[in-house]
Structure 1
Amino acid sequence: MTAPLRLAKADYLPSEQMPVAVAERTSQPSFPPHVHEFNEIVLVWRGNGLHVMNDRPWLVTCGDIFYISASDCHSYESVNELALDNIIYCPERFQLSLDWQQLLPPADSSAWRLTTRGMALARGVIQQLEQESRKSDVLSRQLTEALFLQLALVLKRHRYASDRAWQMPEGEQLDLLMAAIQGQIALPFDLATFCAQHQLSERALKQLFRQQTGMTVGHYLRQLQLCQAKHLLRTSECLIGEVAARCGFDDSNYFSVVFTRETGMTPSGWRQRFVRSPQLHTGSEKA
């Protein structure tokens, strides 16, 4: 197996003293598995794609946040007009006496979403952060760290885990919709019913969703289901029928058809890719 790429601090930070840098990706291409000599926060602004982190696939679109440590391995696949910012930071270079562990999520809670209000606030801070982090004087270094603190506080206040929809503020139409879809991918989702419950315009919400994500609601849900199916096939011993049911498919045969069409492999074939063959002691490998 090929070792992942390792990205160096010196290639992204302007000096050995600067603790933070911003790598803007207005059109993030597909990128192979890699690790870093630094930590980073990934904030997705628009478009969509597949973000594979520590072998788990995540469908990402506007408002998604990932907190990535130096030991995490991740990659980007199947990108479609994906725009994001990478906020690169080196905790060992911080000089403010703060408990950063209280400001940033723990390692086992890396994937979050950001409210629409939070995205607007974060964008302004990141723009200032990008300008100051390019400089090398002492004052700019101090201001960069202060701006990173401000960003961390904004993200903490306005982020939420996708499985905790009850934390959603009222009035955030796209956020409400995302939370509803992500919170119950094993159950049928009816957009008309959702809009009626929340007194929203179905047509306007469809247009907003497509404008922000580049996908229809149905396509987004289907990709979420397939990401979950890939994860379960790799990490569990569930039967194919149980995987199908847990991912919202009533018919396991239909699930197999959809999975094969989307991935080019059957569910059992996908699972077999990750089954380690026993070490051969003598003789040749069986066909």
Structure 2
Amino acid sequence: MSLVLARADYLPSDAMPVAVADRAPQPSFPPHRHEFYEIVIVWRGNGLHVLNDRPWPVTCGDIFYIKDSDCHSYESVNDLVLDNIIYCPERFKLGLDWSQLLPMDDPDHPACWRLTTRGMAMARNVIAQLEQESRKSDLLSLQLTEALFLQLALILRRYRYAVDRAYEQPEGEQLDLLMAAIQADSEAPFDLTQFCQHSNLSERALKQLFRQQTGMTISHYVRQLQLCRAKYLLRCSDCLIGQVAARCGFDDSNYFSVVFTRETGMTPSAWRQRFEQAGKAAMKTA
């Protein structure tokens, strides 16, 4: 049974609609739910974010919109720094249609987004102001907090792009272009040299920038994406092991099994069986 985090422990008063929880660093944290909604923005480092049993590799620029019904956790963290923007929609007073800005109750909305480098810089400034105002309790601070939250929501709406759907590619910044290219097609091996030639970028400089911003190499990040997709397919689909390997960018299913076992400590078959057994046990107790 997952933990439930209470709104009274994070919001300073019953009237305050928003609070900022600074996680620098974010440690590993067990599965939990909230009595509130949350926007997660990752600033630095890397780790594994498990949202409703689906693993997502996370690093700087990743955004998650977490509903009060969602269950999530953090694993395998490495210098992971993030902000949790906590909010209670029922406390908003501006009378806006927040569903146009925040995917609060849309089951078809992408779970994970990325924020461009420009968007990160703008969001960071607003969050700093939001953190200060949300600690106060006077009427003006309540109103200013909601106005700042609206500004943040607009920035995220303008500068975000989805990582698991065919949305428009971001423009300009090297890291944004690289991330979008890596995540565009997880079934095809990513060719860094070809990407750099096509984008007229220095491969060496891009490798250094990526490591500086994320704390890992490009190849490590690509492998994380492959393995997270494999874990999801093994749990949620009937694909054969060879089909899973192919859909995750592995040409050889035997090599896929070796890599998967080395990284997780379990064979792909054992990973799948673990969740099948858990599902049968849940059905018996229902």
**Category of TM-score, reference length = shorter chain:** over 0.9
TM-score normalized by the length of structure 1? 0.94
1:8 aligned onto 2:6: yes
- What does residue 183 of structure 1 align with? 184
* Distance in 2, Cα, partners of 1:236 & 1:150: 40
Report which of the two structures shows the higher radius of gyration computed on alpha carbons: 1
Task: Please give the root-mean-square deviation of Cα atoms over the aligned residues, in Å.
Answer: 1.2
Using the alignment, how far apart are the partners of 1:10 and 1:194 within structure 2?
A: 48
d(CA) in 2 for partners of 1:130, 1:7: 19
Task: Give, in whole Å, the separation in 2 of the partners of 1:121 and 1:168.
Answer: 19
Please name the residue that 1:161 is paired with. Answer: 162
Q: CA separation in 1, counterparts of 2:250 and 2:118?
A: 34
Residue 26 of structure 1 and its aligned partner are, at CA, apart by 1.1
Secondary structure at 2:256 match in 1:
helix
CA-CA distance at 1:170 after TM superposition? 2.7
Count residues in correspondence.
277
Provide the secondary structure at the position in 1 that maps to 2:275.
Answer: coil
Within the candidate set 83, 89, 93, 2:81 is matched to: 83
Structure-1 residue corresponding to 2:284? none
Q: Does the 8 A contact of 2:170 with 2:180 survive in 1?
A: no
Residues 98 and 278 of structure 1, relative CA distance in 2, 3 Å threshold: closer
Distance 2:263 2:202 in 1: 31
Q: Supply the AA of the counterpart residue of 2:192.
A: L
Cα 1:43–1:278 change in 2 (3 A) is closer
SS of residue in 2 equivalent to 1:146: helix
8 A Cα contact 1:165 1:179, kept in partner: no
Residues 198-213 of structure 1 correspond to what in structure 2 (within 5 A)? 198-213=199-214
Does residue 19 of structure 1 match 2:17?
yes
| Alpha carbons 2:112, 2:164 under 8 Å: kept | no
Q: Which amino acid aligns with 2:222?
A: L
* Counterpart residue type for residue 47 of structure 1: G
Say if 2:110 and 2:164, in contact at 8 Å, map to a contact too. Answer: no
Q: Partner letter of residue 85 of structure 1?
A: D
One-letter code aligned to 2:193: A
In the superposition, the TM-score normalised over structure 2's length comes to 0.95
Distance in 1 (alpha carbons) for counterparts of 2:125 and 2:167 = 27
Which of 39, 50, 55 is the aligned partner of 2:37?
39
- Please name the residue that 1:146 is paired with: 147
Which sections of structure 1, spanning at least 5 residues, go unmatched? 280-287
In 1, distance between residues paired with 2:218 and 2:130?
Answer: 34
Q: CA deviation at 1:278?
A: 5.2
d(CA) in 2 for partners of 1:74, 1:45: 18
Deviations 1:21-78 (A, max 9, x none): 0000110000000000000000000100000000000000000000000000000000
Task: State the 1:238 CA deviation.
Answer: 0.4
* Residue of structure 2 equivalent to 1:285: none
- Tell me, yes or no, if structure 1 residue 58 matches structure 2 residue 56: yes
Alignment of 1:1-287 (within 5 A): 3-105=1-103, 106-107=106-107, 108-164=109-165, 167-276=168-277
Q: Given the superposition, is the C-alpha separation of residues 104 and 166 from structure 1 closer, same or farther in structure 2, using an over 3 Å criterion?
A: closer
Task: Flag the 1:164–1:110 CA change in 2: closer, same or farther, 3 A.
Answer: closer
Deviates more, 1:109-118 or 1:59-68: 109-118
Gaps of 5+ in 2: 282-286
- Indicate conservation of the 8 Å contact 2:42/2:62, yes or no: yes
Question: How many angstroms does 1:169 deviate by?
Answer: 3.5
* Contact kept? 1:163, 1:179, Cα under 8 Å: no
Is this contact kept in 2: 1:48–1:62, CA < 8 A?
yes
Does the residue aligned with 1:66 lie in a helix, a strand or coil? Answer: strand
- Give me the whole-angstrom Cα distance separating, in 1, the residues matched to 2:10 and 2:167: 38
CA distance in 2, matches of 1:168, 1:127: 28
CA distance in 1, matches of 2:252, 2:225: 17
